[in-house]
Amino acid sequence: MAKRRKVGNLLALSLLSLLAQQPMYPYEMAQTLRARGKDKNFKINWGSLYTVVNNLEKYGLIEEVGTVREGRQPERTTYQITAQGLAELKDWLSELLSVPEDENSAFVTALSEGGILSPDQVISLLTIRLATLDKDNADHQADLKLWTQRLPRILLLETEYQLAMRLAQATWVRGVLRELVEGTIDGIESWRQIHETGEMPPEFKELDEMSKRGWPEEPDDVK
């Protein structure tokens, strides 16, 4: 997050967006999100919901518009978005759309620590991943086709994006996997050796040393 938001949780963005359309009470927000299938992406956390609503109010982005007691159900507090809230929403959306984030997914971390496992293990794990990806993507694609028939595409961009990313991931994994299996990837023999002998081959030790001292003419990672 480039700029520091008063309420940083992404749930807040969804809530602001809902309230930009009509006033609601918290439980209703959760229902609406669920109805729109957003719960596929994030589990609804009741704790977070009420915390976020409170914070939004605290910072003046939404305001209480009255409490209703319908039937004999518990009292419900209805909120509406404020002018400030609308401004914040637009500003936030603008930032998120225009500034690519540095995503640090768990998979990336795992890849960089993958050397702990043996090459054969990694090959088999990635094979499982790839199978899951392919299966999910096929389902996802079929699903998207169905939706395309009843909704204008403009509303499905988010789904299309997710699918595109998943497909790209599958393609990448497939490529690496082939190289690993064929053993054409540079460094794999040393890696295999480490796991067979328990010994670190000299060229790796050297790398390790160097990483501590800093390389000669270090190529200073950009960004």
Partner DNA sequence: CGGCGTATACTCGTCTACGAGTACTCGCTC
Partner DNA sequence: GAGCGAGTACTCGTAGACGAGTATACGCCG
- Which of 54, 64, 109, 196 is the binder for a copy of itself (CB under 8 A)? 109
130 neighbors 181 (Cβ within 8 angstroms)? no
By beta-carbon proximity to DNA, the closer residue of 9 and 127 is 9
In this structure, what token pair is assigned to residue 201?
A: 């081959």
Residues 51-80 that bind a copy of itself (CB under 8 A): none
* Residue 206 parent element (H or E): helix 202-213
What's the number of CA atoms in the CB half-sphere (13 Å) around residue 155? 9
129 makes contact with a copy of itself (CB under 8 A): yes
Q: Show contacts with a copy of itself in window 154-183 (CB under 8 A).
A: 154-155, 157-158, 160-162, 164-169, 171-172, 176
H-helix or E-strand containing 108?
helix 106-112
Nearer to a copy of itself, 53 or 122 (CB): 122
Question: 80: part of which helix (H) or strand (E)?
Answer: strand 76-81
**Residue 68 dihedral angles phi and psi, to the nearest 5°:** -115, 145
Please, what is the minimum distance in Å from the beta carbon of residue 187 to DNA?
Answer: 30
Q: Which of 17, 32, 77, 169 is close enough to bind DNA by CB under 7 A? A: 77
- Applying CB under 7 A, the residues found at the interface with DNA are 7-9, 11, 25-28, 31, 43, 45-48, 50-52, 55, 70-77
